[in-house]
Amino acid sequence: MTALLSVSNIGAGFGNFKVLEGVSLSLPEGGLVGLIGTNGAGKSTLFSTISGYIAPTEGRVTFAGEDITQLAVEKRVQRGLARTFQVPREFSELTVFDNMMAAAPSQAGEKLSALVFARGRVARQEKETGEKARQLLSFLNLERVADERAGRLSGGQKKLLELGRLLMLDPKAIMLDEPFAGVNPVLIGELSERIVALNARGMSILIIEHNLDELSRIVPKMYAMDRGRVIAEGTPNEVLANPGVREAYMGGVV
């Protein structure tokens, strides 16, 4: 399988302080890959570099054959690479349904000229987008709360909503930043199932997680980071047996 997303030799930091050094990683098309590491290992920084919030000081990010290292955040998303955040960033004042609707790309209704001159088309698109939104909400088991203010949801539901918003974009690849954090154990199982189901449909997924048990169950391949570098890669069993990883996680769940 060809790499859909590949990161080569990424370095990032402030002045002499290096947060990332020589990191290389790849996500194959249709792949489901995990990324683990202790706090401060640089996982989120790596995500931010890949998604475009932070500019790397060296190295390259390639997506679908294109070098996107210098591309703006919005443009990377438009190319099909989207991410969630560790702390969910739902639009708290909007309803769950509106959150989904707001995410849909290329809406004619967002152009003022269309609002005046192409009302019919705008209305039709709204209807189609609405149907897609309801389907996704149903897939994520969120239809019951569709008309609630998103700020009122539980942590787990907010994570599901973030995932839902992402899916409205029909992305090629998604990066999930600690999807299980702060989610109650019952929902974790549901969330896992959804992630696997999405992957089965062909979505390429990269996941950062601390919950090693759950992650090991669903991903066939994992990378481990420590202090800004990649120290292991392979199947979950291989990675978790790696001495360097065990040492980094000393006392942690292995």
Partner 1 sequence: MEGYIVTISITILIYMLLAGGLSLQYGFTGLINFGHVGFFAIGSYTSALLAMQGVPILICMMAATALAALFAFPLGMIALRLRGDYLAIVTLGFSESVRMVLQKEEWLTRGVHGIPGIPRLFGNGPAADLWILATLVIVNIIVFAGIKGMIKSPFGRVIGAIRDNEVAVRALGKDPARFKTRSLAIGAALAGLAGAFQSHYLTFISPEQFVPLITFYVWMAIIMGGVSRLSGVVVGTVMLVGFLEGSRFLREIFPGVSEVQLSSVRFWIIGMALICTMLYRPDGLFGERKTVKK
The footprint of partner 1 (CB under 8 A) covers 51, 72-75, 77-78, 82-83, 85, 89-94, 98-99, 101-103, 105, 107-112, 115, 122, 126, 165-166, 168-169
In Å, what is the CA distance from 61 to each residue of 51, 57, 231, 242?
Answer: 9, 12, 19, 27
Residue type, 147: D
CB of 102 to partner 1, least distance (A): 5
Closest distance between partner 1 and the C-beta of residue 201, in Å?
Answer: 21
Strand-pairing partners, residue 37, are 225
Provide the minimum distance between the beta carbon of 20 and partner 1 in the complex, in angstroms, as a whole number: 20
Q: State the DSSP string of 136-177.
A: HHHHTT-GGGTTSBGGGS-HHHHHHHHHHHHHHT--SEEEEE
For partner 1, give the closer residue by CB, 20 or 103: 103
SS3 13: strand
Return the number of the residue (36 or 122) whose C-beta is nearest partner 1: 122
- Please state the closest distance from residue 254 (CB atom) to partner 1, in A: 33
Residue 110 or residue 193: which is nearer to partner 1 going by CB?
110
Q: Nearest to residue 173, comparing CAs of 82, 46, 45?
A: 82
Residue 50 near residue 7 (C-beta atoms within 8 A): yes
Asked if 4 and 199 count as a contact pair (C-beta separation under 8 A), the reply is: no
Closest contact distance (angstroms) between CB of 150 and partner 1 is 9
The CA distance from 129 to 169, in Å, is 11
CB-wise, 77 or 207, nearer to partner 1? 77
Least distance (Å) from partner 1 to the CB of residue 206? 15
Structure token pair of residue 112: 């003022």
Q: Any idea how long the chain is?
A: 254
For partner 1, give the closer residue by CB, 75 or 144. Answer: 75
Side chain identity at 92, as an amino acid letter?
S
In the bound state with partner 1, the residue whose beta carbon lies nearer, of 107 and 141, is 107
